[in-house]
Amino acid sequence: MDIAPTYDFIVVGAGSAGCAVAAGLIEAQSGSVLVVEAGPPDSGPLVKPPLGLVWLMGSKRDWRFRSSPQKALGGRRIRIPRGRMLGGSSSINSMVWFRGRRDDFDNWNVDGWRWVDVEPAFEALERAFRPARLADPHPLSEAVHAVLGNNGMGPPTPEYESSGVFHYNMHNGRRWSAADAFLRPAQRKGGLTVLTSRQVDRIAFSKGRASEIVFTDGSTLGARKGIVLSAGSIGSPEILLRSGVGPAADLAAAGIALTARSEQVGLNLHDHPTAGIHYVGDDAGYGATLRQIPLWAKAPFRYLFSGQGPIGSPTVEAGAFFNAREDGGPPDIQVHFIPFMMGWQDRLIVPGSGYFTDVCVCRPRSRGALRLVDGEVEIDLGLLNDPADLELLIAAFRRLRRIMDDAPFGARRGVEAFPGLQAVRTDDDIRRHILATCGTAFHPVGTLRMGTDDEAPVTPRLAVRGVEGLWVADASVMPQVTSANTNAPSMMIGLRAASMIAADTGGQPG
């Protein structure tokens, strides 16, 4: 492949948002575009079959970040999987499709990003992705429709209490990532170069203007019109800090020359905290049992011919939204339902059949921070450091148990195996269980918050404050996480970023 020394735009990171940015810039005829991705192409055998995500996590296609010891969790470190290949986290995720609540965007309170502003971009995304109901849910997942109901056979929605089988960005039982929807079609149009397995270390500036990317091996490539950081909520702030844009004292301590002082770079890190329950029982979900040997023996053929069966399952098949304290307020909890016996006793697969369900705080109050310490990135998720999140999870855990007791699971019903009704009964027991086991829904956001105030690292037009020719387009710009899964909102940000950047650099808005 011919790599030119200079491009009009360089997009760093071919993830959910980066692929949308690149396609949008090509669509807007903004000039030549180079996309640089640290990870490999998305051609591995586990990437397209939905069940493959179980093995992708922890593989070389996952950044395998870990949080710093979490203060509220007794020093426990939390795993932070992030996709590391073309498509980024959209090539490793469960493909659950949600826009979020309308008032999530109104509450961002950022000009140009209210619901009326973002809705057309979600509609455009849905024309490109055609998210649809899982074709072949497990019978237990089908039964989840009845637990709260309220939405017919449609997916549950964070707008009101509801439950059911989720919608997914899959086509014929295969993953349809941001690379499928955006990157490859844009490559066919011409003007787009994609470079894989090249990690960007930092941005170099010339008279305050972002002019080059510097790779970890020290080599460089130039950008005439500008550079877009789409390296995700961990990668983008890390690159910015390495480039000297961040809190002055931290940069001085790290021996990095100051390019622009921006005290809030890396702050406001947050994610959806989750805690769950494992159920086991004969025939209570997919699992490693003698009875299921025929099912698993046929599974590869079934998947190859129809895209269905357990290999066509992204594990999370259904769920719900509810208000934990039933106080008449909007849903503040999302439930995921996984009809598989997995991820228990610190092992991926344990013998037996069962199912798992969890509660996630939709709009957490806790905040952490990402910093450079001794040249390495330190990721403090700040999980549950606001006690309100823990108390909400306790109420939600109690309601989840009641809902699961009432679910019409018939002969497939399992019994609660972990934490167990006897072991964990009182609020104090539940509190201890949550603190010992809680993780995240893998939706980190907020480290380069956009805002109209001067403290926000990024402007409402997604430009990095204090420098020229540098933008951020990914989940890091969300001031507050949306109330459900974050892939579609991240791609919405990417699509709108391309339009804004094209317009602000004299091209056609896409």
Ligand X SMILES: Cc1cc2nc3c(=O)[nH]c(=O)nc-3n(C[C@H](O)[C@H](O)[C@H](O)COP(=O)(O)OP(=O)(O)OC[C@H]3O[C@@H](n4cnc5c(N)ncnc54)[C@H](O)[C@@H]3O)c2cc1C
How far is Cα 91 from Cα 16, in angstroms, rounded to an integer? 9
Single out the residue of 31, 50, 52, 81 in contact with ligand X (rule: CB under 6 A).
81
Alpha-carbon torsion (64, 68, 69, 71), positive or negative: negative
Alpha-carbon torsion (140, 141, 145, 148), positive or negative: positive
Determine how many CB atoms are found less than 10 A away from the CB of residue 58: 12
Q: How far is CA 142 from the centre of its chain?
A: 25
* 82 near ligand X (CB under 6 A): yes
* 299 near ligand X (CB under 6 A): no
Measured from the CB of residue 444, what is the shortest distance to ligand X in angstroms?
8
In the window 162-181, what residues touch ligand X (CB under 6 A)? none
* 88 near ligand X (CB under 6 A): yes
| DSSP track, 57-82 | TTSTTB--EEPPPBGGGTTB--EE--
Contacting range for ligand X; rule: CB under 6 A; set: 139-147, 233-241, 288-296, 407-415:
233-241
* 440 near ligand X (CB under 6 A): no
How far is Cα 362 from Cα 11, in angstroms, rounded to an integer? 30
- Cross-strand bridge partners of residue 347: 344
Q: Tell me if 19 sits within 8 A of 182, measured CB to CB.
A: yes
- Cross-strand bridge partners of residue 175: 170
* 394 near ligand X (CB under 6 A): no
Our CB check for ligand X shows the closer of 92 and 379 to be 92
Q: Determine which helix (DSSP H) or strand (DSSP E) holds 494, and give its type and residue range.
A: helix 487-504
Single out the residue of 70, 93, 366, 447 in contact with ligand X (rule: CB under 6 A).
93
- Is residue 443 annotated as a catalytic residue, yes or no? yes
Our CB check for ligand X shows the closer of 366 and 485 to be 485
Q: Tell me if 318 sits within 8 A of 141, measured CB to CB.
A: yes
* 84 near ligand X (CB under 6 A): yes
Q: Tell me if 318 sits within 8 A of 166, measured CB to CB.
A: yes
* 30 near ligand X (CB under 6 A): no
* 439 near ligand X (CB under 6 A): no
Q: Determine which helix (DSSP H) or strand (DSSP E) holds 11, and give its type and residue range.
A: strand 6-12
Single out the residue of 100, 235, 237, 266 in contact with ligand X (rule: CB under 6 A).
235
Number of residues that bind ligand X (CB under 6 A): 41
* 92 near ligand X (CB under 6 A): yes
How far is Cα 44 from Cα 171, in angstroms, rounded to an integer? 18
* 15 near ligand X (CB under 6 A): yes
User: Which tokens sit at 40?
Assistant: 């490999």
Measured from the CB of residue 228, what is the shortest distance to ligand X in angstroms?
11
Residue with tokens 């098949």: 317
Measured from the CB of residue 85, what is the shortest distance to ligand X in angstroms?
6
Q: Are strands 347-349 and 65-66 parallel, antiparallel or unpaired?
A: unpaired
Measured from the CB of residue 235, what is the shortest distance to ligand X in angstroms?
3
* 358 near ligand X (CB under 6 A): no
* 221 near ligand X (CB under 6 A): no
Measured from the CB of residue 157, what is the shortest distance to ligand X in angstroms?
14
* 362 near ligand X (CB under 6 A): no
CB-closest chain residue to ligand X: 15
Single out the residue of 113, 122, 279, 442 in contact with ligand X (rule: CB under 6 A).
442
In the window 40-69, what residues touch ligand X (CB under 6 A)? 57
First vs last Cα of the chain: how many Å apart? 27
In the window 187-206, what residues touch ligand X (CB under 6 A)? 199-200
C-alpha closest to that of 62 among 35, 43, 89:
89
* 313 near ligand X (CB under 6 A): no
* CA triple 32-478-374, angle to 5 deg: 85
Single out the residue of 357, 486, 499, 505 in contact with ligand X (rule: CB under 6 A).
486
Q: Determine which helix (DSSP H) or strand (DSSP E) holds 239, and give its type and residue range.
A: helix 232-242
Residues in touch with ligand X (CB under 6 A)? 12-18, 36-39, 57, 81-84, 88-90, 92-96, 199-200, 230-233, 235, 239, 442-443, 474-475, 485-488, 490
Catalytic residues: 443
